[in-house]
Homo-oligomer: A and B are copies of this chain.
């Protein structure tokens, strides 16, 4: 009883913006328990493996995401209810990671067991306590949106202010005033104009921005 055995896992909430909505990558389970249910990608932590290392490994192996090194990855919360897994006592350290839409879209196309689901409307019951994990991820993301440059992790390298505003609206669930949003963002020093413009628009093309170099490795919990 002095130090009973546990299994420790990581579960990953991989998010992006798809069709204007915050979405998460789900994996269809092939084994018991919860066979056929959608679940978050996850895996057991190795005895000599750090928690962040395990999360990055699951990112590349289980979800087939090459860009695992550069993605925004952040520990979220640890779920340890004794009944959360019917097989044994498992403590799961949940992470969330953010990607541009193209990265997750490609993963979904190449892997039939993966799909994207809308975070605010899951549409089906999930395996284990994964619905609660997703809710926690959404909450954290919403909370950090205003004071951290977290939204850029959901966009490609070049983006317009309209793209950025769409990300903010999808996460916060509110409409934002366009001129106010513009000036607020331009006042943060988080973005810099490239001089380039988008193309193939049936209207005036917007300027393309990129995330400023000095916020590239920004964090803060």
Contact = CB atoms under 8 A, between A and B. Distances in A.
Interface residues of A, number: 33
B221 A4 contact: no
A220 B4 CA distance: 31
A46 B44 CA distance: 20
A48 interface: yes
Q: How many copies does the complex hold?
A: 2
B89 A47 contact: yes
Contact of A221 (B48, B136, B220): B136
A6 B9 CA distance: 10
A91 B91 contact: yes
A2 B45 CA distance: 9
A51 interface: yes
Nearest to A8: B6
B44 A3 contact: yes
A47 B221 contact: no
A184 B93 CA distance: 37
A82 B6 CA distance: 15
A31 to B, nearest CB: 12
A198 interface: no
A80 interface: yes
A47 B88 CA distance: 9
B91 A51 contact: yes
A192 interface: no
A47 B4 contact: yes
A79 B55 CA distance: 14
17 contacts: A1-B46, A3-B7, A3-B90, A4-B7, A4-B44, A5-B6, A5-B47, A6-B7, A6-B47, A6-B91, A45-B80, A45-B91, A48-B89, A51-B80, A51-B91, A136-B221, A143-B221
Interface of A: 1-8, 44-51, 75, 77-78, 80-82, 88-91, 93, 136, 139-140, 143, 220-221
